[in-house]
Amino acid sequence: MLETPHVVVGAAIAASVSNPMLSLPLALGSHFLLDRIPHWNPHTYTETEKYGKIRNSSMIIASVDTAIAFLIGSYIAYTYLPDYKMSFVIITACFLSVLPDVIKSPFYLMKNKNGLLKKYINFERSLQVEIGIYLGLLTQLLVITTGLWWIFG
């Protein structure tokens, strides 16, 4: 799943669950549950294996998605100001919601193919339920819309 749906759901969890000791682990765990929703992703693993690097088009998609996720997460946290504690919890939940993907960065960007990281990537890939681009982007748009409604409803 792209990063933006993960961030919106992580923020929604933090905004809804008042105890950070509960909301932050839930935000992290939501990543793995969201990957079970049928979706579309750029095929960074396949590209890395086939071409030795991620294609430029996939890097552009990932960069734009990351920027959108950052802006939306920041905006949601901003709306909770001047409650700095809540804003911090939301930003932390947003980060934790994408941490399982961030962990994979060395594999793709620095070609770090060590055993433990490769095992984690294979585990994380096994959770993915991918479908075609149009329906896969639609499901992610629905997740984003639902998350924003959950927060601002």
The rounded distance, in Å, linking the Cα atoms of 73 and 151 is 12
Question: What's the chain's length in residues?
Answer: 153
In the predicted model, what is the mean pLDDT of residues 5-31?
Answer: 97
Helix (H), strand (E), coil (C) string for 41-65: CCCHHHHHHHHCCCCHHHHHHHHHH
Mean pLDDT value across residues 32-37: 96
What's the pLDDT at 69? 98
> pLDDT higher for 18 or 99?
99
Record the pTM.
0.93
Domain ranges for the chain: 3-152
